[in-house]
Amino acid sequence: MSIEIRRPVTPKEWENYYDMRYNVLRKPLNQPLGSERNDGDLSGRHFALYDNQILRAIARLDSAGEGISQVRFVAVHPDSQGKGYGRLIMEAVEGSSIKSGNRKMILHARDYALDFYVRLGYNKIEKSYKLYDVLQHYLMEKIY
Ligand SMILES: CC(C)(COP(=O)(O)OP(=O)(O)OC[C@H]1O[C@@H](n2cnc3c(N)ncnc32)[C@H](O)[C@@H]1OP(=O)(O)O)[C@@H](O)C(=O)NCCC(=O)NCCS
């Protein structure tokens, strides 16, 4: 394994980055192309995990107020799930948050991803929104 976690750089890397977001997080919910992007992409910090130059996982880190970070759009390629890439990209995102001086990370987890975040030390706070009226999310947090 030769792992590199960084911001996408070339136009092709950006295309693959947003393609993965769409294919993993929006297409299964029958959402149109474009639904994978939002205004936060301009201000957020983008993370892409490359293993031997192949994109395997993505995430975006946002600011969520004084001392608080929020991670969004966490996704691992379907062929690569369960191999530790999700944990690795979350550790990189948390490391970046800590470096910025923040001491708390929040996120809204899909119901089926809850236990992944519990494994990484997150606590479930409360039920939050239902994405597209179908997919229940839960607010979770981790304090460093
Ligand atoms: C959820 C997701 C990000 C996890 O990434 P991953 O690479 O598959 O997970 P990892 O292999 O790094 O797993 C880390 C740990 O969490 C556990 N885990 C992973 N996914 C899990 C799940 N859905 N439920 C319960 N535990 C899970 C693993 O067993 C592992 O435990 P261990 O370290 O004690 O052995 C990934 O499967 C994914 O992209 N799923 C579809 C999209 C999604 O749900 N994104 C999150 C939106 S909130």
pTM of the full predicted structure?
0.96
Beta bridge partners of 45: 61
The phi, psi pair for 100, rounded to 5°, reads -80, -5
- Indicate which residue's Cα is closest to atom 1 of ligand 1: 113
pLDDT in tens, 40-49: 999 999 999 9
pLDDT at 119 over 90: yes
Q: pLDDT grade, residue 110 (50/70/90)?
A: very high
**Residues 80-85, mean pLDDT to the nearest whole number:** 97
pLDDT in tens, 14-29: 999 999 999 999 999 9
**Distance from chain centroid for Cα 80:** 15
| Rounded Cα–Cα distance for residues 37 and 44 (Å) | 11
What are the structural domain ranges in the chain? 3-105
Q: pLDDT grade, residue 8 (50/70/90)?
A: very high
Pocket test for ligand 1, best of 1, 116, 128, 142 (most atoms within 8 A of CB): 116
Q: pLDDT grade, residue 133 (50/70/90)?
A: confident
| Rounded Cα–Cα distance for residues 27 and 138 (Å) | 21
**Residues 105-125, mean pLDDT to the nearest whole number:** 97
Per-residue buried b or exposed e for 104-135, using 16+ beta carbons within 10 Å of the residue's own CB = bbbbbbeeebbebbeeeebeeeeeeeeeeeee
Domain 3-105 classification at class level: alpha beta
- Residue 35 neighbours by CB distance under 10 Å: 15
- Indicate which residue's Cα is closest to atom 33 of ligand 1: 119
Atom of ligand 1 nearest to the CA of 82: 11
Q: Provide the pLDDT for residue 132.
A: 86
| Rounded Cα–Cα distance for residues 9 and 29 (Å) | 28
**Residues 63-88, mean pLDDT to the nearest whole number:** 97
Q: pLDDT grade, residue 1 (50/70/90)?
A: low
Residues with CB under 6 A from ligand 1: 24-25, 74-76, 81-87, 109-110, 112-113, 115-116, 119
Enclosing H/E stretch for 91: helix 85-99
